[in-house]
Structure 1
């Protein structure tokens, strides 16, 4: 008998509903699990969150349950949730997302509003290998407190939740794994705070550790984004003492895996299924609504009015780059709205002083805005486009008005905008303002609802 037991762990994170390579991923994972069993090894497969992304029509049409079916097919054993599972789905959609899952969800810091563990999650788990080695598994996700609260959930800061989860399993565990959708910097801090963790599987910030990274005695791993890589960690354990002897991380580039002719048909088929399911009429359009990346348009004007109608705000601000196409004349369906506004973005209402509103307005005049490339923050387009306003304008004399009243220092206004403008990247000036988010509706839902009532 070999002196050491081998525990082989495959992992992925932040797939974001990128399914072009999914058949290769599934085939590879199933084959690796088969080979591990033949060698007498323990094999685990993990997903570290944000597998769901509502910008994909299949995910949108199935409210993420299609993603769960794909994870089932890949023989995944354990997952944690990312923010795309946690705060882009309605409460009901998340509460039923894992009903058909053949894997277990591990997340210690998401609770019901009453403070109980959701029925679909575990704070921690203990798994015993055939050799009698006990593996403790814990998990945590990024704590977007305001968003979770508005959706009827409670989210804890992750460190206290992880402390509790680790303490419950550490005495019985020979090996502790952490599934962390917290991001690279937090992962390093988690490793420093909890030396009990042997391997931390990361995500959220889309970082890639091709051979892992050591933080004190913890091995950190992550595979980037979009299913470009599959991670592999090999842990060896002394059979007699159950002491962890070694840990080694590597990644497999999915583009280099075996490809079959039929693989190219898979992603288009999912898109087609999703689009067919989204062929649900929403409203009738009297004439086409065209967008304009670098200026005003009828489409933008209707969207601006929809924002004001949904929020009751005094004025609105958004960017023309959110519109990825146009709306046709005649029946507009959920498919049309999804194609136009695929972004998992919510509306936000900022309560703002007149002086700051004027400052923000002036800032948006910069010629650099329209061609600014935007990545992340829920945005699924490419360029920012022109910053547009509704019921906020400047007259020939240079005075700025909200409706019929000139904006004045010391007066308070409400500005409807996109949540991505409130996160501090583009307008850090808004960070100290009072902000409320319109949830669970996404901006495409707001446009559809308003247009249906015209």
Structure 2
């Protein structure tokens, strides 16, 4: 009897070892809607330097770890509205940080197309990571083609679909990325193909070349859900556009979005068994708070750009750090409330717009999306805080 138990135990151990030897482990760190490279709330939350710390921890756990950016990172920000060495910054600071992390793959969000064609091309050329989008193309001279990078006098088209190939102990695993972007920002140099037509056009070929296909989108959550209805075999869509973290379930599939401005990130641990051709995905939301230290090397880059911002603002306001208002209660400029309900900060801005109008008005409307600080203003409020709240230009009529 003891011999039988021993043989059964030995068989199970060998079987488990055999299964593990066929496994390939991949970790994907998902970011989306990151406008600020600096930490928020007095340095306590978010910041790309904290992203790097988490990335290094994951990399130590699994060398097959990659950072993905699901759109909206070049604009808007206060820093992006300024100039440096005679040129518009327009996301240059973000590209430098993303290169340093390093980002593996990014897709377009609607705010990338806030930039004019020339500035966007500069950012593409500066990037060392890959870009992918199935439904966004460039219009030039009445023809439609893929966006591209121009580096070292060579033109390289961006990817329409993307395959990440990972090798672990001679076992290969290919992840295909189906990437789509919302068509909210209309520009004469951007062509948007219908999202679902794009998906149908590229999916079959992507699936045939991949062991696993994942969604990598910048769409409304409802549109992500429609995409899963058409392609229910996609187990995970890593998305952006909404600014609040979410984990949505639809059938056997999931949609994940992290909080804007890297207040949180999603970590997806994927285990693929090459023998049975099956993947398991474990997704965890990680909050980037004060318990996570800021990486020193990335913080150097952040501080460099912060100094540039401070110097530029002094060219507009003599003393940008001077207190202009003292908030007895916190003024709520966080993304979700300013886009959905009346907040005290929104009320102050609307009243200010009405007072600044050239005509006598009975009321004023302000687009909640123009309030970009994604934070609460507490206590002493300075001129530079006002710029951070409302970084866009424009006039009051």
Q: Is this a same-fold pair by TM over 0.5?
A: yes
Match of 2:144 among 115, 124, 129: 115
Q: Counterpart in 2 of 1:78?
A: 105
Answer whether contact 1:203 1:224 (CA < 8 A) is retained.
no
Q: Counterpart in 1 of 2:35?
A: 16
Against the structure 1 CA distance between its residues 260 and 175, is the aligned structure 2 distance closer, same or farther, given a 3 Å change threshold?
closer
Structure 1 runs not aligned, ≥5 long: 282-326, 329-334, 341-370, 399-416, 424-441, 448-454
> Map of 1:347-362 to 2, 5 A cutoff?
none
Distance in 1 of aligned mates of 2:261 and 2:240? 11
Match of 2:239 among 188, 191, 202: 202
Answer whether contact 2:36 2:261 (CA < 8 A) is retained.
yes
Aligned with 1:122: secondary structure? coil
Answer whether contact 1:198 1:218 (CA < 8 A) is retained.
yes
2:23 is the counterpart of 1:4: yes
Cα deviation, residue 104, structure 1: 0.7
Q: Which digits, 9 at most, give the CA deviation of each residue in 1:294-347, with x for residues without a partner?
A: xxxxxxxxxxxxxxxxxxxxxxxxxxxxxxxxx67xxxxxx98xxx9xxxxxxx
Structure 2 runs not aligned, ≥5 long: 1-17, 40-46, 84-88, 150-157, 325-331, 371-390
Cα deviation, residue 100, structure 1: 2.2
Distance in 1 of aligned mates of 2:105 and 2:263? 20
Cα deviation, residue 261, structure 1: 9.6
What TM-score do you get using the length of structure 2 for normalisation? 0.68
Distance in 1 of aligned mates of 2:121 and 2:238? 24
Q: Which digits, 9 at most, give the CA deviation of each residue in 1:78-132, with x for residues without a partner?
A: 111212212x211111122121222111111211122211114321012222122
Distance in 2 of aligned mates of 1:226 and 1:385? 25
Cα deviation, residue 204, structure 1: 0.6
Q: Counterpart in 1 of 2:260?
A: 225
Distance in 1 of aligned mates of 2:120 and 2:333? 34
Distance in 1 of aligned mates of 2:302 and 2:48? 8
Match of 2:273 among 235, 238, 242: 238
Q: Counterpart in 2 of 1:294?
A: none
Q: Which digits, 9 at most, give the CA deviation of each residue in 1:14-58, with x for residues without a partner?
A: 122152132121122133224312xxxx32210111223332325
2:186 is the counterpart of 1:148: yes
Answer whether contact 2:75 2:90 (CA < 8 A) is retained.
no
Runs of 4+ in 1 over 4 A off after TM superposition: 260-269, 277-281, 371-374, 389-394
2:177 is the counterpart of 1:137: yes
Aligned with 1:444: secondary structure? coil
Match of 1:272 among 307, 329, 337: 307
Against the structure 1 CA distance between its residues 50 and 443, is the aligned structure 2 distance closer, same or farther, given a 3 Å change threshold?
closer
Q: Which digits, 9 at most, give the CA deviation of each residue in 1:340-395, with x for residues without a partner?
A: 9xxxxxxxxxxxxxxxxxxxxxxxxxxxxxx9997259x9x74432253866558x
Distance in 1 of aligned mates of 2:100 and 2:77? 22
Cα deviation, residue 256, structure 1: 5.2
Greater shift in the superposed pair: 68-77 or 160-169? 160-169
Aligned residues: 311
Answer whether contact 1:109 1:158 (CA < 8 A) is retained.
yes
Aligned with 2:267: secondary structure? strand
> Map of 1:118-197 to 2, 5 A cutoff?
118-120=147-149, 121-130=158-167, 131-144=171-184, 147-150=185-188, 152-197=189-234
Distance in 2 of aligned mates of 1:184 and 1:445? 30
Cα deviation, residue 166, structure 1: 1.7
Answer whether contact 1:372 1:384 (CA < 8 A) is retained.
no
Greater shift in the superposed pair: 260-269 or 45-54? 260-269
Against the structure 1 CA distance between its residues 106 and 268, is the aligned structure 2 distance closer, same or farther, given a 3 Å change threshold?
same
Aligned with 1:214: secondary structure? strand
Distance in 2 of aligned mates of 1:196 and 1:158? 18
Distance in 2 of aligned mates of 1:97 and 1:239? 38
Distance in 1 of aligned mates of 2:59 and 2:145? 35
Q: Counterpart in 1 of 2:385?
A: none
CA-based RMSD: 3.6
Distance in 2 of aligned mates of 1:270 and 1:164? 42
